[in-house]
Structure 1
Amino acid sequence: LISVLTMWQKVQIFYHGILERGDKRTDDWLLVHSPVPISCIFFCYLIIIWVGPKLMAKREPVNLKPVLIVYNFAMVCLSAYMFYEFTASSWLAGYSLLCQPVDYSHSSLAMRMARVCWWFYFSKVIELSDTIFFILRKKNSQLTFLHVYHHATMIFNWWAGVKYVAGGQSFLIGLINSLVHVVMYLYYGLAALGPNMAKYLWWKRYLTSLQLLQFFIVTIHTAYNLFADCDFPDSMNVVVLAYSLSLIALFSNFYYRSYLVKQGRENSARPQRKYTKKVA
Structure 2
Amino acid sequence: MLREAASNILQFHNFLKSGVDVRISDYPLMGEPVKMTCILIGYVILAVYTGPRLMAGRKPMRLNTAMIIYNLSMVLLNAFIVYEFLMSGWATTFTWRCDLIDTSTTPQGLRMVRVAWLFYISKFIELMDTAFFVLRKKQSQITFLHVFHHSFMPWTWWWGITGTPGGGMGSFHAMVNSAVHVIMYFYYGLSAAGPRFQKFLWWKKYMTAIQLTQFVLVSVHISQYYFMEKCDYQNRLWIALIWMYGVFFFILFSNFWLQAYIKGKRLPVSEDKPKQNGSTSEPITVVANGKHVENGNGHHYTNGKLLLGKVKEI
Aligned to 1:114: 113
Aligned to 2:42: 44
CA drift of 1:102 comes to: 0.8
Deviates more, 1:31-40 or 1:223-232: 223-232
How has the CA–CA distance of structure 1 residues 9 and 255 changed in structure 2, closer, same or farther, with 3 Å as cutoff?
A: farther
Cα deviation per residue 1:122-164 (whole Å; 9 max; x = unaligned)? 0010001001101111122221233222211111122123211
Identity among equivalent positions (%) equals 40
Q: Quote the Cα distance in structure 1 between the aligned partners of 2:63 and 2:22.
A: 41
CA drift of 1:45 comes to: 0.7
CA drift of 1:200 comes to: 1.9
In the alignment, is residue 175 of structure 1 matched against residue 169 of structure 2?
no
- What does residue range 53-202 of structure 1 map to in structure 2 within 5 Å? 53-91=52-90, 93-166=92-165, 167-202=167-202
Question: In the alignment, residue 57 of structure 1 is paired with which amino acid?
Answer: A
Question: In the alignment, residue 83 of structure 2 is paired with which amino acid?
Answer: Y
Aligned to 1:14: 12
Q: Quote the Cα distance in structure 1 between the aligned partners of 2:194 and 2:266.
A: 28
Deviates more, 1:235-244 or 1:253-262: 253-262
Normalized against structure 2, the TM-score is what? 0.77
8 Å Cα contact 2:20/2:162 also seen in 1: yes
Normalized against structure 1, the TM-score is what? 0.86
8 Å Cα contact 2:86/2:92 also seen in 1: no
How many residue pairs match? The answer is: 263
8 Å Cα contact 2:90/2:96 also seen in 1: no
Q: Quote the Cα distance in structure 2 between the aligned partners of 1:123 and 1:260.
A: 34
Q: Quote the Cα distance in structure 2 between the aligned partners of 1:153 and 1:81.
A: 24
Question: In the alignment, residue 240 of structure 1 is paired with which amino acid?
Answer: I
Q: Quote the Cα distance in structure 1 between the aligned partners of 2:148 and 2:251.
A: 12
8 Å Cα contact 1:79/1:179 also seen in 2: yes
8 Å Cα contact 2:75/2:186 also seen in 1: yes
In structure 1, runs of 5+ residues without a counterpart are 266-280
Higher helix share: 1
Q: Quote the Cα distance in structure 2 between the aligned partners of 1:49 and 1:257.
A: 28
CA drift of 1:8 comes to: 5.3
Q: Quote the Cα distance in structure 1 between the aligned partners of 2:260 and 2:90.
A: 38
The secondary structure found in structure 2 opposite 1:101 is coil
Question: In the alignment, residue 185 of structure 2 is paired with which amino acid?
Answer: Y
CA drift of 1:110 comes to: 0.4
Cα deviation per residue 1:74-97 (whole Å; 9 max; x = unaligned)? 110111111111112214651121
- Higher alpha-carbon Rg: 1
Aligned to 2:203: 203
Q: Quote the Cα distance in structure 2 between the aligned partners of 1:206 and 1:26.
A: 38
Aligned to 1:275: none
Deviates more, 1:102-111 or 1:132-141: 132-141
CA drift of 1:9 comes to: 5.0
Q: Quote the Cα distance in structure 1 between the aligned partners of 2:90 and 2:218.
A: 19
Deviates more, 1:37-46 or 1:9-18: 9-18
Cα deviation per residue 1:215-239 (whole Å; 9 max; x = unaligned)? 1211122222145322221111112
Superposition CA RMSD, Å: 2.1
2:30 pairs with one of 29, 32, 42: 32
Question: In the alignment, residue 144 of structure 2 is paired with which amino acid?
Answer: F
In structure 2, runs of 5+ residues without a counterpart are 268-314
Question: In the alignment, residue 25 of structure 1 is paired with which amino acid?
Answer: R
Q: Quote the Cα distance in structure 1 between the aligned partners of 2:260 and 2:15.
A: 45
How has the CA–CA distance of structure 1 residues 135 and 262 changed in structure 2, closer, same or farther, with 3 Å as cutoff?
A: farther
CA drift of 1:246 comes to: 2.3
In the alignment, is residue 231 of structure 1 matched against residue 229 of structure 2?
no
Aligned to 1:241: 243
CA drift of 1:264 comes to: 8.0
How has the CA–CA distance of structure 1 residues 157 and 207 changed in structure 2, closer, same or farther, with 3 Å as cutoff?
A: same
Question: In the alignment, residue 147 of structure 2 is paired with which amino acid?
Answer: V
CA drift of 1:258 comes to: 4.1
